[in-house]
């Protein structure tokens, strides 16, 4: 029974194995980055950057056709330009981060839409840009795994300043000048992980697997290490469940995965042990008694 429902789809079909491994890579690399974004109140930054990637990928597609390399490079260039420019403008002018990011990403998005309609070409470009987790080829797999590895190494190296800059940036500024560098590093990691996710889930769904598990994990642990592990676990579980739902009930895979993560979020919000609706209720009663 469990064999048929859970194991057999992956044994019988290579595309299911590929999809699962691809999702695992994104969960391992992207979700920890998402945790830091949430911690720094930059949850929506991911969404903005994902939109900014679109035109770069579109240019890559227009120049070189359906090639993983060209679309990756294009997406990276566009995402990094927008992310770093916004970071720079935030630190150099009066504009806040959200405002400068909004300015740049909307410009970039408009450019992307313009390029897409100028081509009006053979394959509907939006379909290409939406990616498909069921169609991962070898190149995309290598790219996903590579980006996950780079991200994990970078996070491990920069873990301490990243944590300090996230919880107490003022303190970090008094003892060291790494604050800006850490900020740019995180933005860069967000961009490369979104580019990776774009190949598997499409730009918009990639933000989902990055941020939603991170928000859900917040309700399960107090310490950062716990949140990180929990977020990755939720992302992996959501990927697995989503793929199986897609397999057994004929649902589109990308949205199914993100919906599972969303379900985990709602569940955590209701009954998680730390700061959830239930926990707060119990806590208050305890104080009253």
Binding site residues, other proteins, CB under 8 A: 1, 9, 12-16, 19, 66, 117-124, 126-128, 130, 132, 134-137, 243, 246-256
Q: How far is the CB of 143 from other proteins (least distance, A)?
A: 14
Q: How far is the CB of 48 from other proteins (least distance, A)?
A: 24
Q: How far is the CB of 112 from other proteins (least distance, A)?
A: 14
Q: How far is the CB of 60 from other proteins (least distance, A)?
A: 15
Name which of 242, 218, 184, 270 is nearest 31 in CA terms: 218
Instruction: Compare residues 138 and 223 and give the one whose CB is closer to other proteins.
Output: 138
Q: How far is the CB of 74 from other proteins (least distance, A)?
A: 16
Instruction: Compare residues 137 and 168 and give the one whose CB is closer to other proteins.
Output: 137
Q: How far, in Å, CA of 198 to CA of 255, rounded? A: 13
Instruction: Compare residues 223 and 249 and give the one whose CB is closer to other proteins.
Output: 249
Q: Which residue's structure tokens are 């909307």?
A: 106
Name which of 23, 6, 3 is nearest 196 in CA terms: 23
Instruction: Compare residues 16 and 158 and give the one whose CB is closer to other proteins.
Output: 16
Instruction: Compare residues 35 and 136 and give the one whose CB is closer to other proteins.
Output: 136
233 burial class (0-12, 13-18, 19+ CB within 10 angstroms)?
A: middle
Q: How far is the CB of 235 from other proteins (least distance, A)?
A: 18
Quick one: tokens of 230?
A: 């929990």
Q: How far is the CB of 251 from other proteins (least distance, A)?
A: 5
Q: How far is the CB of 232 from other proteins (least distance, A)?
A: 23
Instruction: Compare residues 4 and 170 and give the one whose CB is closer to other proteins.
Output: 4
Instruction: Compare residues 4 and 223 and give the one whose CB is closer to other proteins.
Output: 4
Name which of 80, 193, 209, 197 is nearest 129 in CA terms: 197
Torsion, Cα 166 167 170 174, to 10 degrees, reads -90
The helix/strand/coil state of 136 is coil
Structural contact between residues 81 and 54, judged by C-beta atoms closer than 8 angstroms:
no
Angle 158-160-161 (CA atoms, 0-180°, nearest 5)?
A: 70
Give the contacts of 88 (CB within 8 A, at least 6 positions apart): none
Instruction: Compare residues 140 and 187 and give the one whose CB is closer to other proteins.
Output: 140
**Length of the chain, please?**
289
Name which of 83, 254, 55 is nearest 183 in CA terms: 83
Q: What is the largest CA-CA distance in the chain?
A: 69
């Amino acid at each position: 029974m469990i064999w048929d429902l859970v194991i057999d789809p992956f044994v019988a079909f290579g595309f299911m194995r590929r999809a699962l491994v691809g999702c695992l890579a994104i969960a391992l690399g992207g979700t920890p980055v998402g945790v830091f974004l949430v911690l720094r109140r930059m949850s929506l930054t991911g969404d903005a950057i994902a939109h900014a990637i679109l035109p770069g990928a579109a240019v890559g597609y227009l120049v070189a056709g359906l090639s993983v390399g060209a679309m990756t490079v294009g997406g990276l260039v566009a995402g990094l330009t927008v992310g770093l420019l916004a970071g720079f403008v935030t630190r150099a002018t009066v504009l806040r981060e959200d405002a400068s990011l909004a300015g740049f990403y909307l410009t970039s998005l408009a450019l992307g839409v313009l390029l897409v309609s100028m081509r009006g070409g053979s394959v509907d470009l939006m379909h290409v840009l939406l990616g498909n987790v069921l169609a991962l080829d070898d190149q995309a797999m290598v790219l996903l795994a590579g980006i996950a590895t780079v991200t994990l190494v970078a996070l491990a190296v920069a873990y301490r300043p990243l944590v300090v800059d996230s919880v107490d940036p003022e303190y970090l500024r008094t003892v060291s000048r790494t604050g800006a560098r850490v900020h740019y590093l995180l933005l860069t990691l967000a961009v490369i992980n979104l580019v990776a996710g774009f190949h598997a889930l499409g730009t918009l769904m990639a933000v989902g697997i990055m941020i939603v598990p991170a928000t859900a994990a917040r309700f399960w642990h107090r310490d950062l290490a716990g949140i990180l592990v929990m977020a990755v676990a939720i992302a992996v579980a959501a990927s697995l469940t989503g793929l199986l739902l897609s397999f057994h009930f004929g649902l589109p895979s990308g949205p199914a995965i993100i919906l599972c993560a969303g379900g985990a979020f709602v569940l955590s919000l209701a009954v998680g042990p730390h700061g959830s609706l239930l926990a707060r209720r119990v806590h208050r009663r305890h104080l009253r008694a």
